[in-house]
């Protein structure tokens, strides 16, 4: 996603040592990610930055929820998201290393932008499947799903019995 100005840290003005930053990633941020599944939400991001002469070590922690459609009933739900990611920026002309955690930046740079890393931290910690907690799905869909299940149990898919027959013959 595109860098947002509010996530820029002008580190040249900072003393060596630890600094803390906080960001609120709300509806506007989630829309700017371009991810169609994100319907809104609110995620609090804490960034700890440890500055030394040639290195900026950042620890990004996200905690909040993103509004998405439930994979089971398709109604909106708040998916909790929590996690931490470490990212190290090296002020160096060297080529980028294979290490994802380490990124080389221009030794003359004065600032870094964290939009991409905040987005990455959220993406990495979102579960692949998002469903309502047990019993909180849309009751209409729940009923329909139950009927389908009963139907399957009573009258199994004929394709299965064909497969079963084949298996029996092989044995």
Which of 7, 132 has the CB closer to Zn ion? Answer: 132
**Distance, CA of 111 to CA of 166 (rounded, Å):** 66
Can you tell me which of 4, 43, 70, 114 binds Zn ion, judged by CB under 5 A? Answer: 70
Which range of residues in 4-12, 39-47, 65-73, 101-109 is near Zn ion by CB under 5 A? 65-73
* Residue 34 DSSP one-character state: T
Q: What are φ and ψ of residue 155, in 5° steps?
A: -135, 85
Which of 112, 126 has the CB closer to Zn ion? Answer: 126
Q: How far is the CB of 142 from Zn ion (least distance, A)?
A: 8
Which of 48, 138 has the CB closer to Zn ion? Answer: 138
Site size toward Zn ion (CB under 5 A) is: 5
Which of 43, 137 has the CB closer to Zn ion? Answer: 137
**Distance, CA of 130 to CA of 138 (rounded, Å):** 14
Which of 81, 137 has the CB closer to Zn ion? Answer: 137
Restricting to residues 2-61, which ones interact with Zn ion according to CB under 5 A? Answer: none
Count of beta carbons in the 10 Å neighbourhood of residue 2:
9
Restricting to residues 131-160, which ones interact with Zn ion according to CB under 5 A? Answer: 132, 137
Does position 116 interact with Zn ion (CB under 5 A)? The reply is no
Can you tell me which of 73, 81, 112, 122 binds Zn ion, judged by CB under 5 A? Answer: 73
- Token pair in block for residue 32: 């700017």
List residues binding Zn ion (CB under 5 A).
Answer: 70, 72-73, 132, 137
């Amino acid at each position: 996603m595109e860098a947002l100005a509010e996530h820029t840290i002008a580190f040249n003005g900072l003393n060596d040592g630890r600094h803390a930053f906080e960001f609120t990633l709300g509806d506007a941020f989630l829309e700017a990610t371009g991810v169609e599944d994100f319907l809104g939400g609110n995620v609090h991001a804490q960034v700890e930055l440890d500055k030394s002469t040639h290195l900026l070590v950042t620890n990004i922690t996200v905690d909040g929820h993103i509004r998405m459609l439930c994979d089971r009933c398709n109604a909106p739900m708040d998916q909790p998201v929590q996690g931490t990611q470490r990212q190290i920026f090296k002020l160096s002309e060297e080529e980028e290393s294979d290490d994802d955690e380490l990124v080389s930046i221009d030794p003359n740079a004065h600032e870094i932008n964290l939009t991409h890393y905040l987005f990455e931290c959220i993406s990495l910690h979102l579960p692949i499947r998002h469903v309502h907690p047990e019993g909180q799905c849309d009751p209409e869909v729940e009923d329909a799903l139950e009927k389908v299940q009963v139907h399957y149990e009573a009258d199994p898919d004929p394709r299965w019995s064909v497969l079963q027959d084949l298996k029996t013959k092989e044995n």
